[in-house]
Chain A
Amino acid sequence: MSAKPKLKQVFDRPKSLKDVPYHYCPGCHHGLIHRLVAEQIDAFGLQESTLAAASVGCSVLLYDYFDVDIVESPHGRAAAVATGLKRAKPDSFVFTYQGDGDLAAIGTAEIVHAANRGEKITVIFVNNAVFGMTGGQMAPTTLEGQVTTTSPYGRSAAEAGLPIRVCEMLSTLEGTAFAARVAVDNIKNLKKAKAALKRAFTYQTKGWGFSFVEFLSSCPTNWKMTPEEANARVGKEMADYFPLGVYKDVRAN
């Protein structure tokens, strides 16, 4: 009996990701998050109908990695750009991919109103508590006491307020249908992140409303940490202040 060796491929690059190396720093979570998003695009069969709004931050080069149609947005405006995309092409799958400087500082008005209107878009929010691209300045999500290039003595609550919990804030809006905060620092969290993304994609593909997934993410370069230290910080300090979980799921059950 000459049996052919039966090898089952269990891991591959998602079809909607291009076969190119990332420019992200070692230990940066952006690449992992890209992969998770691409997996869902594939799983839902959306590569041909996806329109993405890239933002300005370290992920500005989103279009170098995703093999889908992408438009660049001015810094902070991805939610408004995505609103235009979705209104013009309601049958498309529209997502934004934004950092915490982009979404929670300069783009606060756009994200609040897109959520409040219940735009049928999906927002991927990558919170690394710092302005990564511009060299590690303080973000609205920078933790109290955290040293950055513009909070050299540590973020002071008296001067700069305390970090904004965007997921909680957006959950208060009637227009937000799904909101979750996830992390990719370990396998358990990664699985939860996948599930949250799947749910967010379901919300849009079923036309149920605005869906939002916040990722706690590492920035070893600007946190001045090794990849391991940065990864550990996500699960400890970051998740302590920004608790993980599903904050809103209006169609649960």
Chain B
Amino acid sequence: MARRVLIKGNEAIAMGAIEAGCRFYFGYPITPQNEIPEYMSMAMPKLGGTFLQAESEVASINMLLGAAATGARVMTSSSSPGISLKQEGISYLAGSQIPGVIVNMSRSGPGLGGIHPSQGDYFQSTRGGGHGDYRTLVLAPSTAQENYDLTMLAFDLAEKYRNPVMILGDALIGQIKEPVELKSYRKKPQDKPWALTGAKGRHGQILKSLFLADGELTDHNWMLAKKYKSMEKEVRFETYRAEDAQLMLVAFGSVGRILKTSVDILREKGKAVGLLRPITVYPFPKQAVRQAAEEAKALMVMELNTGQMVEDVKLAAECACPVDFYGRPPGSIPTPDELAKEAMKVWRKRGLK
């Protein structure tokens, strides 16, 4: 029977990573994700793994790049400003097709901002984030349990697609303490013929993103584009009381979590309100949103920012129904009642009954 423990969201990520076989962690302290490096610094030596506190986020993402190039399962974690610093490295990972797991327990910005929960990094996460035409798979957990489960999945996806995978949370998702069922990881290790292990019985192997020969970079980019397209089958989302919903709320991560209670409040008042919560924000659950747009009378996006994911929802809805938005810049965490009230405004504005 799986063990149940009471742990912080950040610890769940560290434990999920270790369970999935991650034995190399490189990071640099930043709130609100410090429990991850702290946990790793305690656990790794006992497991014969490596915990290294790097001189910066720039160094840690490049240490990840080096270790992951050998085929090892490697993780780094940070929060928004640190993730900005990692972006060049993430772009190189994507270009060189080196897998790696990057955790962003995001905080508020711009600049030093603050440590409040915020979803201001949605664009940065889902649009590649660094330079060049690339994508990272982005998983957006909303509970400590999901942190644990999705971290394990992140390693599988990173290797399956030889691509960086990002876990996008925020202070709420990282700091919340709740029960987590520690399921065991059962996947078998995959063959990694691309890994750098020394030119034994073969010629030297290269992992690189520079392509200078005529047409080579065009081909490389097309190959990557096809790969990103093929990632679409990894779409994950959750619906909550969505059946017969006239107003479908769309939110991810911490807001998605809070909105479940708002939906309960509204349902109790007899309002047919449901929730669609993207779990992968890249690839974005376009079809699910499109279907919701056809079945409901209105969509409403709620985010802890001034409007980012709402653009993806509008694109996916293809004008099949109106899309409203409630955004909240960082500073405070909305309560279920507050969000229910915001939903009611749209309910009335759209003349729903």
* Chain A residues within CB distance 8 Å of chain B: 47-51, 53-54, 60, 63, 66-74, 77, 80-89, 92, 109-110, 112-113
Contacts and interface: CB of A to CB of B under 8 A. Distances in A.
Nearest to B69: A71
Given A80-B54, A85-B70, A51 B63 contact: no
Contacts, number: 134
Nearest to B56: A109
Contacts of B88: 74
29 contacts: A47-B199, A48-B199, A50-B199, A51-B69, A63-B204, A67-B203, A68-B204, A69-B197, A69-B198, A70-B204, A70-B206, A71-B65, A71-B196, A71-B208, A72-B206, A72-B210, A74-B88, A77-B58, A77-B89, A80-B54, A80-B59, A80-B60, A81-B62, A81-B65, A84-B68, A88-B68, A89-B198, A92-B198, A110-B59
B168 to A, nearest CB: 23
Contacts of B205: 69-70
B92 interface: yes
Contact of A60 (B68, B70, B197, B210): B210
B40 interface: no
Given A83-B66, A109-B59, A88 B72 contact: yes
Main secondary structure on B side of the interface with A: mixed
Contact of B197 (A54, A74, A89): A89
A117 B318 CA distance: 55
A83 B59 CA distance: 9
A110 B198 contact: no
Contacts of B69: 51, 71, 81, 84-85
Contacts of A70: 196, 204-208
Nearest to B209: A72
Interface residues of B, number: 40
Nearest to B50: A87
Given A68-B198, A88-B24, 13 more contacts: A53-B66, A71-B65, A73-B66, A77-B59, A80-B58, A80-B62, A80-B63, A81-B66, A81-B69, A84-B67, A89-B198, A109-B55, A113-B59
Given A51-B196, A51-B198, A63-B208, A88 B67 contact: yes
B66 A84 contact: yes
A68 to B, nearest CB: 4
Nearest to A47: B199
Contacts of A86: 66
